Amino acid sequence: MRGFECDKYKQARLTMFRRTPPPTGYAAGGATAVQISCYANGEYPMNTWKGRRLGFVRLIVFALLVAVAWYAFQPRRIDDGQPPWHAAVEQRTIEVAGMSREFLYYAPPGLARGAPIVFVLHGSMGSAAGMREATAFGFERIAAGEGAIVVYPQGIEKHWNDCRGTADYAANTRNIDDPAFFEAMIGWLARELGADRSRVLVTGLSNGGHMAYRLGLERPDLVLAIAPMAAGLPVAATRDCRESGKAVATAIFNGTEDPLNPFAGGLVSILGNSSRGEVLSSQESARFWARLAGHDGEPKIEDLPDRDPDDGTRVRIERWQAPGHAEIAHYMIEGGGHTLPSRGARPPLATSVLTGRTSQDIDAAHEAWAFFERQWP
């Protein structure tokens, strides 16, 4: 009842500014008893000084909460000594199997014909634009100096149809033909920009890394090298790919403390969703590719310098190299999480709690590019 009376009081107060009769029993601008009752219960009409002050405080609190939420979900830029990056990317849409598929691409000014192509794939619930920021534009900086094309494709409903046959996201349940999408993009880049079809690198994070695995397994005719990150190869029982039996050069980047894609192998679980099945351990994943490439010896071990002692990570590389065999490299990021190693950016604060540490000892873009260059004919 008191709330009703307060509402009537507020209506009465408004008659001071309107030419409408006040509610029955209230004089325009009056209702002292009800006014006292409303104030006593903390209900200050907005046309009073206390009411306006309360509204202003609420507005400030709301604005602060919005600002904190925005900051928490922004990728964190790190001062890596690089100048700000302002390059523009182009967006294109092509038709593939009756569907409109989109991608962003960066081609540096004065690009010569015969440029190599680097595909950079987002993870689950990611986006092409978000992947640019996640890499701190590292691949674009390299492309500007090396004369390469960087492509950020967009998955269907923010996912890729990788080799995990039990996954419940739409790209898998609808059996989207993602290899055909990559074939179409390579064809478009070759026709429109004169890109070199024989020099194609595919790298990606998480679900994007799994898509790189699929292209390496099924379409070695399309890719020269792959660089999966935060992704273990699915176990044979759930590996739903038409494997060609041919190897491509492969560099795998995995953190030993990855909370989503277990470094030691096992069930991939994301917020309780375990539909993505089991993966091999990171070392077994590397050895799978080494055997496929025909390497029969033990890898060479290299411990990289601890460039940032405060990031809680160290990097060790297992490398298989032999003439006539595809190179295989395994970057074991001790202490690293479900992240992309970068000296220029870290995941947003809100997600880093779930994903773990980001190594500052290496930069994934530079490592992947150096690996790619070594594979050129």
pLDDT score, position 275: 78
The vertex-8 CA angle with 6 and 11, nearest 5°, equals 115
Residues 155 and 294 in one domain: yes
d(CA 233, CA 209): 9
**Quick one: pLDDT band at residue 245, thresholds 50, 70, 90?**
very high
Q: Per-residue pLDDT for 219 more than 90? A: yes
Where a domain ends, among 46, 72, 98?
72
Whether 310 shows a pLDDT value over 80: the answer reads: yes
Boundary residue ending a domain (16, 43, 72): 72
In a domain, 7, yes or no: yes
Cα-Cα-Cα-Cα dihedral sign, residues 130, 135, 137, 140: negative
For 227, which DSSP code?
Answer: E
Shared-domain flag, residues 133 and 262: yes
Residue 93 included in any domain: yes
Helix or strand (DSSP H, E) at 200: strand 200-205
Residues of the chain with pLDDT > 90, as a percent, come to 68
Domain presence at residue 80: no
Co-location of 18 and 103 in the same domain: no
Confidence category of residue 268, pLDDT binned at 50, 70, 90: very high
Name the percent of the chain lying above pLDDT 70.
75
Distance CA(47)–CA(51), nearest Å, equals 6
Q: Is the pLDDT of residue 78 over 70?
A: no
- Quote the crossing angle between the two packed helices 207-218 and 178-193, to the nearest 10°: 80
Mean pLDDT across 272-292: 93
Q: What is the tens place of the pLDDT at every residue in 341-369?
A: 987 665 555 556 788 999 999 999 999 99
Give yes or no for residue 15 having a pLDDT over 50.
Answer: no
Q: At 172, which CATH number?
A: 3.40.50.1820
Least confident of 42-46, 65-69, 104-108: 65-69
Say yes or no to pLDDT of 244 above 80: yes
* 79 belongs to a structural domain: no
Q: How much is the pLDDT for 98?
A: 94
- Do 20 and 100 belong to one domain? no
Please tell me whether residues 116 and 192 are part of one structural domain: yes
Q: Tell me, yes or no, whether 164 lies in a domain.
A: yes
Residues 6+ apart with CB under 8 A from 324: none
Are residues 105 and 67 located together in one domain of the fold? no
In this prediction, residue 270 carries a pLDDT of: 80
The torsion angles phi and psi of 347, rounded to 5 degrees, stand at -65, 160
Same domain, 34 and 98: no
Query: Rounded to whole angstroms, how far apart are CA atoms 304 and 317?
Result: 8
Average pLDDT over residues 124-136: 93
* The pLDDT of residue 226 is above 70: yes
| Residue 313 C-alpha from the chain's centroid | 21
Stretch 335-339: mean pLDDT = 96
Q: Are residues 46 and 174 in the same domain?
A: no
Q: Are residues 45 and 164 in the same domain?
A: no
314-320 and 328-334 beta bridge pairing? antiparallel
| Tokens coding 180 | 């055909």
Residue 168, helix vs strand vs coil:
coil
Whether 242 and 328 map to the same domain: the answer is yes
77 belongs to a structural domain:
no
- Write down the mean pLDDT value for the chain: 84
10 pLDDT higher than 50: no
| Total structural domains within the chain | 2
30 pLDDT higher than 80: no
Residue 49 lies in a domain: yes
Q: Residue 343's pLDDT is what?
A: 78
In which band, very low, low, confident or very high, does the pLDDT at 276 lie, cut at 50, 70 and 90? Answer: confident
- Same structural domain, 161 and 237: yes
Range of the domain at 327: 85-374
Average pLDDT over residues 91-103: 97
